[in-house]
Amino acid sequence: MVSIEGMTAFWDRLLGAQPDPPPLLVLLTGLVALVVVSTRLPWRIARNAITIAHEGGHALAAVLTGRRLHGIRLHSDTSGLTLTAGRPTGPGMVLTLLAGYLAPPLVGLGGAWLLAGNRITLLLWLAVVLLLAMLIMIRNVYGALTLVVTGGAVLAISWYASPQVQAAFAWTGVWFLLLGGVRPVVELQRLRTRRGMPASDADQLAGITPLPPFFWVLLFGIVNVVVLLVGGRMLAGPLLTDAGIVPW
């Protein structure tokens, strides 16, 4: 039986604020995330995290707009597929398609807000909860394995790692989501320019609205860059404070 003192200690650990990170940690984790996003092989591996957030965004938007969520598939080539049912047009379908490319940096923005308050443990546990919720809707073995491994790694770090390791992991992950939300939009437009992508989110949006695919690609890019700037300023708070600049 869990004692009241044990529950109190658990909630204090979960909701309590950790010490401010060293400015050097904030800088180095941002540089690591930038290198991962900018280089071919690391990006090819780490892109799975972006795909998880992308498909999770589709799924959440579908549920919130009243569509029926049938399942999510994650593939070894870092692509994914979210299956929903409902009206093929209308606001619900538009928001569901729109949510995919916007989800990774928006999740990163939420993480940056938590890290700005030094809620590192809370951030890691929320990540585990979201991954478990998504696991319920996974419909292929690779996708399930990806989520189990990812969620297990986050849980292990949140429970067993030192505060310094937790901080480095959390800041790197959030920087990666913010920065990694921009590259897929660039890749999308490149692929569309070369051979067209009638099944892409932007082309599907163009098919159910009067606006062309490039409008949606541009919207993805603008929103994700703005979110990156806002989230980046939140994360860079310790750096700005150390430099004598008061962050918002």
**Model pLDDT, residue 237:** 76
**What's the domain count of the chain?**
1
Strand partners, 84: 69
Domain housing 146: 22-49+106-242
28-58 exposure pattern, b = at least 16 Cβ within 10 A, e = fewer: ebbebbeebbeeeeebeebbbbbbbbbbbbb
Rounded to two decimals, the pTM is 0.91
**Model pLDDT, residue 59:** 97
How many CB atoms lie under 10 A from the CB of residue 18? Answer: 19
The dihedral built from the CA positions of residue 209, 64, 136 and 37, taken in this order, carries a sign that is positive
Query: What percent of the chain lies above the pLDDT cut of 90?
Result: 81
The answer as to whether 140 is a domain residue is yes
Instruction: Kindly provide the residue ranges of all beta strands, DSSP E only, lying in the chain, ordered along the sequence.
Output: 68-74, 80-85
Whether the per-residue pLDDT at 10 is higher than 80: the answer is: no
The answer as to whether 62 is a domain residue is no
The answer as to whether 83 is a domain residue is no
Whether the per-residue pLDDT at 248 is higher than 70: the answer is: no
Mean per-residue pLDDT for 136-142? Answer: 96
The answer as to whether 167 is a domain residue is yes
The answer as to whether 97 is a domain residue is no
Query: In angstroms, what CA-CA distances link 171 with 5, 21, 210, 229?
Result: 31, 9, 40, 15
